Structure 1
Amino acid sequence: MNAAVRAVVRMGIYVGAKVYFIYEGYQGMVDGGSNIAEADWESVSSILQVGGTIIGSARCQAFRTREGRLKAACNLLQRGITNLCVIGGDGSLTGANLFRKEWSGLLEELARNATRGPSFWR
Structure 2
Amino acid sequence: MNSYLHAMGITEWQPKSAQITEGLWLLSDNSAEVSLEHPLVQEVLKLLDVDSRDCQIASSDTAAKIASANVLWDMRAQAQTGRLRSQPLPMLCQSAQGKRDLWQQIWQLQVQQQQ
Same fold (TM over 0.5): no
Q: TM class, shorter-chain normalised? A: under 0.3
Normalized per residue, which structure has more strand?
2
Q: Normalization by structure 1: what TM-score? A: 0.26
Give the number of the structure whose alpha-carbon radius of gyration is greater.
1
Normalized per residue, which structure has more helix?
1
Q: Normalization by structure 2: what TM-score? A: 0.27
